[in-house]
Copies of this chain bind each other. A is one copy, B any other.
Amino acid sequence: MGLVVALLQLNPTVGDLAGNAAEVERAVALAAANGADLAVTSELVISGYPPRDLLRDPEFIQRCADVTAAIETPIPLIVGTPLPPTSDRQLPGNGSMRIVPGRKAKVATRKQLLPTYDVFDELRYFEPDKAPGILRLSENLSIGVTICEDAWQHAGEVPADYDADPIEQLAAWQHQGEPLALSVNLSSSPYHLHKEGTRGDVVRAAAKTLGHPYLLCNQIGGNDDLLFDGRSLAAWPDGRMIQAPSWCIGVLLVDIEDGNGETSRWLPWPDGECCTECDCKVEIVDAGSEPSVPESGTDLLAAITTGLGDYCRKSGIKKLVLGMSGGLDSSVCAAIAVRAVGAKNVLGLSMPSRYSSDHSIADAKATAEALGIELHSHSITALHQAAEAELNDELVDGNPVARENIQSRLRGMMVMAAANSRGAMAITTGNKSELAMGYCTLYGDMVGGYAPIGDLYKSEVYDVARALNSEAVQFGQTPPITESTLTKPPSAELAPDQTDEDTLPPYETLDAILHAHIEEGASSSTLIASGFDESLVNWILERLHSNEHKRWQMSPAPRVSNRAFGQGWRQPLAAKK
């Protein structure tokens, strides 16, 4: 075996400096006990990523550096942390410190390329460095140290041009006679579906240019509105790669001389905290091959479970409440809630009205039973009648949607009452397709602190539902999403015999247009040229961009941007990097 480098794939909590440092200590001890010579964390593992406005407090920055310097490790360790500014009027650095047993902790490097697009705001908070990170660990061992984005420009995977290319700078350094054994990259690289291929391109491009192995340590977990999938990577100059499992905590041991990955291995977290989703093996990717592509529904299920679970755990939320209509969205959300906080901590509310169908009540009941959660039934009929009586003068000649919204808002009030009374968080069950179209009620079905499926198109919600059912069958349990829920036409049930398709185009078409426009940036002319009906495209984009459906009226439409919504109420699974 040659030099063994450990990538510590952890799940830090923003602001929990002591807790994050303790996890690093635990992981590096595990790595050392298994033969690692050197360990590397993900980006900003001490502060958690993204620390956002915490970074504006100089005391916080100093505390991060102090906590990092005090980490105990049996082997050399590179830790991602905010670093104090080098002058009074500078911003802090997004950097790393080198901790070597018996020596004083020392700044290793600061990030050079600061992404400020999509979900990233780093130029707001950090001062960019201008020199590449070279770390001399011993007389015979020097390595390159880069932070996340530093490697992406080189692979052409950033939307705009930076002045510098840290990978080229490291390569130039080597040409001047400074031999580097390997380079590492401390990453907080957010998840989106099928990102594994892109990250592979980045590490392969760097390894090829540098002529030595390039190792990327990524974090896992959800922090506020960002999700990270792990999948730490090592690439060799000839294109061979190994990839750590997704959605779980542990240590990837990389044998630098072992380009086939046969002696490299994954160390799961010892007490079973690792994960329940993966089989915890290193994936070996041959030169010329791509990392295997996970089944979408399964990967998204792991993603949104991690997101809601971490949001609750890290914010101290123990219980969840949601309205259950028997429809697809709320049934899937109930199942996710159970995975996040446990069945005994989830309360469903069935809130039928005069327009509710029998099957919707029965479907909600069947799902609640399959999941083993409490389901309380509260009819909105009496309140609905009282509201219509009191507000008749306001409603009589007005927009009929106002009447539909009343029902949804009474339900929102009930969900919040149940949540507030027991110190629980309400979750909101809307999907990205309906949110984009404003097919939802502001302060009604949109109440809640978190939207577990808010960044999934309706068709993806079906994928997740099928993955949930398959898994239940696999474990000999009752599938939580009933056949009726999966096959009946989606309906808001706010008017007699209403279905979503009374207002919206079929979800298959809607999702294809929305996906192309929102995720890929296709303009209306591009969409029409690619074969979509012109009037349909215009109707959808107009509704998407219209003020009429924005916050001041019925319901908000998302900003058409890959940028996170902010306020944490939706998961930007579709973040582009």
A interface residue numbers (CB < 8 A to B): 53, 56, 59, 87, 89-91, 116-117, 121, 123-124, 127, 159-161, 315-317, 376, 378-380, 382-383, 386-387, 389-391, 393-395, 397-399, 401-402, 405-406, 409-410, 412-414, 416-423, 425-426, 442-443, 447-450, 523, 547, 550-554, 556, 559-561, 563, 566-569
Contact = CB atoms under 8 A, between A and B. Distances in A.
Copies of this polypeptide in the complex: 2
A188 to B, nearest CB: 18
B561 A53 contact: yes
A406 to B, nearest CB: 6
A15 to B, nearest CB: 10
A310 B59 CA distance: 40
A121 B118 CA distance: 12
A499 B86 CA distance: 50
Given A416-B443, A423-B399, A89 B551 contact: no
Given A376-B393, A421-B398, A161 B116 contact: no
Contact of A551 (B378, B405, B561, B567): B567
Given A401-B420, A405-B416, 4 more contacts: A376-B393, A382-B386, A382-B390, A405-B417
A383 B417 CA distance: 14
Contacts of A406: 413, 417
Contacts of A547: 315-316
A395 B382 contact: no
A87 B90 CA distance: 30
Given A382-B386, A386-B382, A416-B442, A394 B409 contact: no
B559 A420 contact: no
Contact of A391 (B401, B412, B418): B418
A553 B315 CA distance: 11
Contact of A443 (B161, B447, B563): B447
B409 A412 contact: yes
Contacts of A53: 559-561, 563
**Residue from A414, A419, A421, A425 with most neighbouring chain B CB atoms (10 Å):** A421
A215 B423 CA distance: 57
Given A523-B59, A566-B567, A390 B399 contact: no
Contact of A414 (B316, B391, B448, B553): B391
B552 A417 contact: no
A340 B402 CA distance: 24
A56 B559 CA distance: 12
Nearest to A390: B378
